[in-house]
Amino acid sequence: MKLPIQLAPKHPQGLLLVNPVMTASGTFGYGTEYSHLFDVQKLGAIVCKGTTLEPREGNPQPRLAETASGVLNSIGLENIGVNAVIKEKAPIWASWEVPVIVNIAGETVDEYVQVASQLEGVAGISGLEVNISCPNIKVGGAEFGANPDSAAEVTAAVRKATSLPMLVKLTPNTSDIARVAVAVAEAGADAISLINTLKGMAIDITQHRPLLGNITGGLSGPAIKPVALYMVYEVAGAVDIPIIGCGGITTASDALEFIMAGASAIQVGTASFANPRAPLDVLEGIEQFMKKEGIKDINELVGAAQR
Ligand SMILES: Cc1cc2nc3c(=O)[nH]c(=O)nc-3n(C[C@H](O)[C@H](O)[C@H](O)COP(=O)(O)O)c2cc1C
């Protein structure tokens, strides 16, 4: 049975994963936090927490709220900053077999570029995932990924700053995600991951005010799966670079739906909070399904529902 997936076929070095199961940024720390719980080396790739130029404390508490079949979070990109990632985390990753992809974020195009430049040539980093769900402070805080022009601008700028394989992670908070995907692909993305969280809120009725300290947050978990699946299907039909599906994936059958919709790989996010072994369970379930169905190569399933 063949599980390897090439995520960056147009990149000179490529980004070959031994299997299609990845972790989603912000839900698996730096991988190190989970390495005593199960053999993280068995995964296709690990995507670390969103990394910014300077360390960030994130948004005011409370920052998490449970919803029906989902979670609202307003962590606000709390992270240790790119220097600490390079000094403290990359040396550990360099000894790992599993590729680690650094998710990067910024409030200006220049900030993304600086983070990418600092990560250039650092051992232990196999690729970048550019999170374009961040507010662009120069244009009043709309997400970079909300429109094709600003999405392409940040993608092209990071492309120039890095020689690593580059994934660009799309936000669902836009009116036409396929157009954003096409713009990002034309601007040099090697692959596209989607989706990030959907904007939402909750209200504390005893206090008469929003429950999250930041007022709004991002919805994730099983509640968003049908939306994410539809968007993956749309984007896979619009671009010819690999797609990484994400959004509510909890079981192998969820993952297989995304793969059949057109995703070459998938990311497990919120599911890891309830079950830290979820990414491995998803991988084992995919293997069982392929065995049962007599599928010899995972690539046979990629986009099967598109045809
Ligand atoms: C607590 C939390 C923190 C997150 N942090 C990031 C982040 O730093 N960068 C990013 O691109 N996505 C981040 N995400 C979004 C996830 O990577 C993923 O796109 C989203 O949660 C949908 O997948 P899921 O439903 O499987 O969780 C975060 C999600 C959660 C729940």
Residue of 22, 25, 57 to test ligand 1 pocket, by largest number of atoms within 8 Å of CB: 25
Question: Amino acid identity of 33?
Answer: E
- Is pLDDT of 44 > 90? yes
The pLDDT tens digits for 249-289 are 999 999 999 999 999 999 999 999 999 999 999 999 999 99
pTM for the predicted model, two decimal places:
0.98
Q: What DSSP element (H or E) covers 102?
A: strand 100-104
Question: Amino acid identity of 268?
Answer: V
Mean pLDDT throughout 235-253? 98
C-alpha separations of 295 from 20, 254, 260, 300 in Å: 15, 17, 13, 7
**Annotated catalytic residue within 134, 170, 241, 252:** 134
Per DSSP, the three-state class of 126 is coil
State the average pLDDT for the chain.
97
Question: Which of 177, 170, 108 is closest to 140 using CA atoms?
Answer: 108
* 296 CA to centre of ligand 1 in angstroms: 32
Rounded Cα gap, residues 150 and 162, in angstroms: 19
Per DSSP, the three-state class of 50 is coil
* 171 CA to centre of ligand 1 in angstroms: 11
**Token pair recorded at residue 177:** 């995600």
Query: Under a CB-based contact definition with an 8 Å cutoff, are residues 167 and 145 in contact?
Result: no
Grade residue 142 by pLDDT with cuts at 50, 70 and 90. confident
pLDDT score at 272:
97
Query: Under a CB-based contact definition with an 8 Å cutoff, are residues 271 and 255 in contact?
Result: no
Query: Under a CB-based contact definition with an 8 Å cutoff, are residues 103 and 51 in contact?
Result: yes
3-state SS, one letter per residue, for 235-300: HHCCCCCCEEEECCCCCHHHHHHHHHHCCCEEEECCHHHHCCCHHHHHHHHHHHHHHHHCCCEHHH
Grade residue 71 by pLDDT with cuts at 50, 70 and 90. very high
Residue 246 known to be catalytic: no
